[in-house]
Structure 1
Amino acid sequence: MSFHCAISNDIPEDPVVSPHSGSIFEKRLILKFLEENGVDPISGKEMSADELIEIKTASIIKPKPPSATSIPSLLKSFQDEWDAVVLHSFNLRQQLQTTRQELSFALYHHDAACRVIARLTKELTAAREALATLKPKAPTTAITNSEETNNDNDGVLSESVIENISSKASVLTAERKKRFRSIPEDLIKPEKIKEFKTTSSQTCLHSVSKPGIVSLDICPTDSNKIATGGNDHTATIFDKKSERIITVLKGHNKKVNSIIYHPNKENVITASIDSQIRVWDIEDSKTQQIIQAHESPITSISLHATGCYLLSTSNDEQWAFSDIDTGKVLIKVGDQTTNHSLTAAQFHPDGLIFGTGTSESLIKIWDLKERSNVANFPGHSGPISAISFSENGYYLATSADDSVIKLWDLRKLKNFKTIPLEEGYQVKDLCFDHTGNYLAVAGSDVRVYISKQWENIKSFTDHIGLATGVRFGHNANFICSVSMDRSLKVYSS
């Protein structure tokens, strides 16, 4: 094969250099030549393909086509290239403007979010401080005669009592913060509650001669044990599991309109419109203590978180704080600003404050240690029929004769939700479950609302009379209610 290498200023494709002659060859041709001859085609010296040196060059720019050799063609090419450059520049500017607008919008939203977070943080801090301190307003209370209430402290709580309730509040606050970080795994889901139906109905707990069950409570440590108070002047302890009456407590001479199952002892506390509060020993079916805190019908009682003290309200326009172990009334306070009876009462879960409802549509929040009215919640019409604090410590649910349920935020001291009911609907009892996730309502029927959304997820219409009490079982695995139809009903899946 003959090899011809022409010297030219053009750089061939895939150029390589011979180290012997320094000449540039096209790699394809020189490799074929070396395969046949094995020498440098210029110098004639022996050379192998491995000795060739590759040259790195820029990509070859193709020449203009023959159509671009005339001046008009060149001008058209230049015009087309210029249009392409201008159009590309316009697209880049358009994209830049869009990006700037998006960035400006994002920065605006970020700034607005930061402002909202800062404001909410400030309000939350202020609300927590207000709830923690609850500084009393101007004195509006009067302490009753200590002789009438068996009070040895002249209307002032002793240091030991204050220390007891304060230490208990500190423990409960810390426990609640841990407990409410997550919902218990075994808490009944809303979907399950929607499937609840009546699984038990008892009509033999109280006398037929004076029908009607007006109060209800469940043992906190054994939810099979249920306590009821009736128009027949008696209280009954019922075992749900075995469906038998454990005992009947007789001693009141008028209806038992409030009943509490003690969480730590085999005791039940009852209150009646006969103006008596009785502490019962369940095993012996006997009265351990009779607390004479009021001279008028008692409307409501609430047990303090320590399990040692009892709050009571009455038509005598006063509330009393008593020791259930000794039967002594430690303090008794009346509000002299207006003349009204106290219709409902309940301790806050921590026990440092409590709420009372009045016959003049007002809910009052009291500081126990200072014995002072620290906040008022107006808005209902008609006497307050029921109040219930949520175990989360922030919410208070109230009802009156106006067929609405109002929910109050104790951090901001204002009504944040009003649940309207049907016209003429009567509410007789309200109860949060222990987790604060559900609110039960007893009245014209029995209803369950889910917290936060405050939607009615289930209604029970099995009672033929007015429902007067409702309570949740452990982790809401069942619900029970009592009624003027003399029945105790249990709802579960």
Structure 2
Amino acid sequence: MFCAISGVTPEEPVVSKKSGHVYEKRLILQHLLASGGKDPETGEDMNEEDLINVKLSGSSVKPTPTTNASIPGTLTQLRNEWDSVMLESFKLKQTLKSTRLELSHSLYYYDASLRVIARLTDERDEARKALMELRNKGVYMQDGNENKMNGSSNVNEVDPMEVEKPDAGEPQALSEEVIENIGKKAEALKKWRMKRPAISGLLKPRASSSLVEKDSRKYHVEGVSVEVMRTAMKVENPLHGYVFVGCSDGSCKILNEQATEIQSQFKAHEGGVTALSLSSAADVVISTGADQKSCVARHGDGGFSQKASFKYHSQDITGCSIHPTDDYFATCSKDGKWAIHDIETVTTLASVVDPDGSPNLCAEFHPDGAIFASGLENGIVRVWDVRSLTSVASFETESGKDNLSLSNTRILLGGGPTVLNWTRVQVPCQRSPFLRMDIRWSASPASGKPSYGT
């Protein structure tokens, strides 16, 4: 098969539809362009569409050009082949080099990944070990509650999640940040109190015997007994507010001021509730129980619901008090300890063991928040500097006083038919400690009216 124009074997053969001759495609296209579309053999009109490509078998050997039939042509062909081999070899070397670089980078990243995985595995094992140690020391409980409607009441059922909590007794001092926060609040409240004018027309102590009861209400919760009670009155209307009660079944209930309707309730403890404390805005409630747990409840869209509970003391908790900052609260227990906790994080910030080791029966913060008083079973009332956690005053009373109340100028201690009153004289942290008992109220069993003594 030879080209009709050159007479050599074509590299890209085509066949004319009209004449049937075989041409080299490159040559016939040039001829058609030069001759104006004439067939070189017959002279007939012809265009590129009249050419048909001849398909060659893929296994056929490329024909040797006529120019290679001589020795110089063969040498030229061999040189061209050698050049192509060298070029291909150079390209292979470049590809090999780039592949080696990619492989080395991949191995480096793989080794670094293994090191990171090993380090993370070690950290995970250490965290698990620490978690197991904490789990053996105590239990921390935090939960998310859902409000359930039950008639006109909002009942918040608690399904707590147990998490580990550090051992009681570890924190012995407050951090600098907490001390500074307590100090600023005490100074601000002190300045406000000193600027407040004296109230005229107050009832004289002796005149209280002539008081007559105008109204009384019995706060009763069906099926359980009320153990503790706190009230929160609205500033704009003191006759309206809420009554917070802790019941013997471990539940906390919030009633309206007439005690006719339960606004919301939640189950806080396994045993009875022993103490309640409210924040200044009455939107946070701290409850303690005979099950040695402290619970934090907050007000939400559906009323009050328990947000967290934890166990710190080893015996029954007998009292709790929220600090004026509303950021911290204190608890006291029959184990002889009192501790300060953070409301937001529900963690213990510091704890103090009474020097006598006597069980605590009651405790409360001073309105300024700089001092803290605790009443012991042995009859001692101890006053503490909150920032240094040291005892700054103490005095003895009859044993068994389980109610303690601090005002700006005095301290009241009650239990049974007797109420004791101390005024301030000289406390290092407050410039006037509670050391002088001025008045003793003692209710007469026969008349029920108070009598006085000094």
TM-score normalised per structure 2: 0.55
Change (3 A) 1:220 1:172: farther
Match of 1:218 in 2: 231
Q: Deviation of residue 191 (structure 1)?
A: 8.6
Match of 1:303 in 2: 322
Q: Determine if the alignment matches structure 1 residue 157 to structure 2 residue 174.
A: yes
Match of 1:408 in 2: 422
Change (3 A) 1:219 1:420: closer
Change (3 A) 1:192 1:200: farther
Measure, in 2, the Cα distance between the counterparts of 1:265 and 1:408: 28
Match of 2:309 in 1: 290
Measure, in 2, the Cα distance between the counterparts of 1:314 and 1:361: 15
Q: 2:286 aligns with which of 269, 277, 280?
A: 269
Contact 1:296 1:316 in 2 (8 A): yes
Match of 2:141 in 1: none
Q: Secondary structure at the match of 1:177?
A: helix
Q: Deviation of residue 406 (structure 1)?
A: 1.8
Measure, in 2, the Cα distance between the counterparts of 1:300 and 1:188: 30
Match of 2:411 in 1: 396
Write out per-residue CA displacement over residues 199-258 of structure 1, whole angstroms, 9 at most, x where no aligned residue.
54342xx242x4x21211122545511101111211110111684210112131111111
Q: Deviation of residue 347 (structure 1)?
A: 0.6
Write out per-residue CA displacement over residues 292-341 of structure 1, whole angstroms, 9 at most, x where no aligned residue.
22121100001101011101100111000000111000001112x32310
Measure, in 1, the Cα distance between the counterparts of 2:271 and 2:259: 29
Q: Determine if the alignment matches structure 1 residue 357 to structure 2 residue 370.
A: no
Q: How does 1:200-349 map to 2 (within 5 A)?
A: 200-203=217-220, 206-208=221-223, 210=224, 212-219=225-232, 221=234, 224-240=241-257, 243-264=260-281, 266-283=283-300, 284=302, 285-335=304-354, 337-349=355-367
Contact 1:291 1:329 in 2 (8 A): no
Measure, in 2, the Cα distance between the counterparts of 1:424 and 1:359: 24
- Aligned letter for 2:188? V
Q: How does 1:4-43 map to 2 (within 5 A)?
A: none
Change (3 A) 1:307 1:448: farther
- Aligned letter for 2:254? I
Q: How does 1:370-385 map to 2 (within 5 A)?
A: 370-378=388-396, 380-385=397-402
- Aligned letter for 1:341? P
Q: 2:167 aligns with which of 130, 134, 148?
A: 148
Write out per-residue CA displacement over residues 177-196 of structure 1, whole angstroms, 9 at most, x where no aligned residue.
122x22178x8997999344
Change (3 A) 1:422 1:264: closer
Measure, in 2, the Cα distance between the counterparts of 1:191 and 1:373: 35
- Aligned letter for 1:216? M
Contact 1:289 1:325 in 2 (8 A): no
- Aligned letter for 1:415? R
Measure, in 2, the Cα distance between the counterparts of 1:306 and 1:165: 7
TM-score normalised per structure 1: 0.51
Q: Determine if the alignment matches structure 1 residue 171 to structure 2 residue 185.
A: no
Change (3 A) 1:297 1:291: same
Identity of aligned residues (%): 23
Q: 2:214 aligns with which of 197, 203, 208?
A: 197
Q: Deviation of residue 174 (structure 1)?
A: 0.8
Write out per-residue CA displacement over residues 386-426 of structure 1, whole angstroms, 9 at most, x where no aligned residue.
11112xx221111345x43221122244233242524779x
Measure, in 2, the Cα distance between the counterparts of 1:343 and 1:191: 29
- Aligned letter for 1:408? W
Match of 2:404 in 1: 387
Measure, in 2, the Cα distance between the counterparts of 1:326 and 1:191: 45
Write out per-residue CA displacement over residues 399-458 of structure 1, whole angstroms, 9 at most, x where no aligned residue.
345x43221122244233242524779xxxxxxxxxxxxxxxxxx97x889xxxx79xxx
Contact 2:422 2:439 in 1 (8 A): no
Deviates more, 1:346-355 or 1:278-287: 278-287
Measure, in 2, the Cα distance between the counterparts of 1:188 and 1:243: 32
Contact 1:321 1:332 in 2 (8 A): yes
Q: Deviation of residue 265 (structure 1)?
A: 5.3
Measure, in 1, the Cα distance between the counterparts of 2:187 and 2:175: 19
Match of 2:442 in 1: 421
Q: Gapped runs of 5+ residues in structure 1?
A: 1-143, 426-443, 456-493
Q: Deviation of residue 290 (structure 1)?
A: 1.3
Contact 1:406 1:415 in 2 (8 A): no
Change (3 A) 1:265 1:423: closer
Q: Give the number of the structure with larger relative contact order, counting CA–CA contacts within 8 Å between residues 6 or more apart.
A: 1
Q: Secondary structure at the match of 2:181?
A: helix
Measure, in 2, the Cα distance between the counterparts of 1:360 and 1:416: 18
- Aligned letter for 2:353? G
Contact 1:149 1:330 in 2 (8 A): no
Measure, in 2, the Cα distance between the counterparts of 1:199 and 1:395: 27
Q: Secondary structure at the match of 1:282?
A: strand
Q: Secondary structure at the match of 2:364?
A: strand
Measure, in 2, the Cα distance between the counterparts of 1:420 and 1:333: 32
Change (3 A) 1:404 1:289: same
Change (3 A) 1:448 1:241: farther
Contact 2:209 2:450 in 1 (8 A): no
Change (3 A) 1:410 1:250: same
Contact 1:258 1:272 in 2 (8 A): yes
- Aligned letter for 1:291? F
Structure number with bigger Rg:
2
Q: Deviation of residue 264 (structure 1)?
A: 2.5
Measure, in 2, the Cα distance between the counterparts of 1:274 and 1:355: 23
Change (3 A) 1:339 1:155: closer
Q: Deviation of residue 266 (structure 1)?
A: 2.2
Match of 1:37 in 2: none
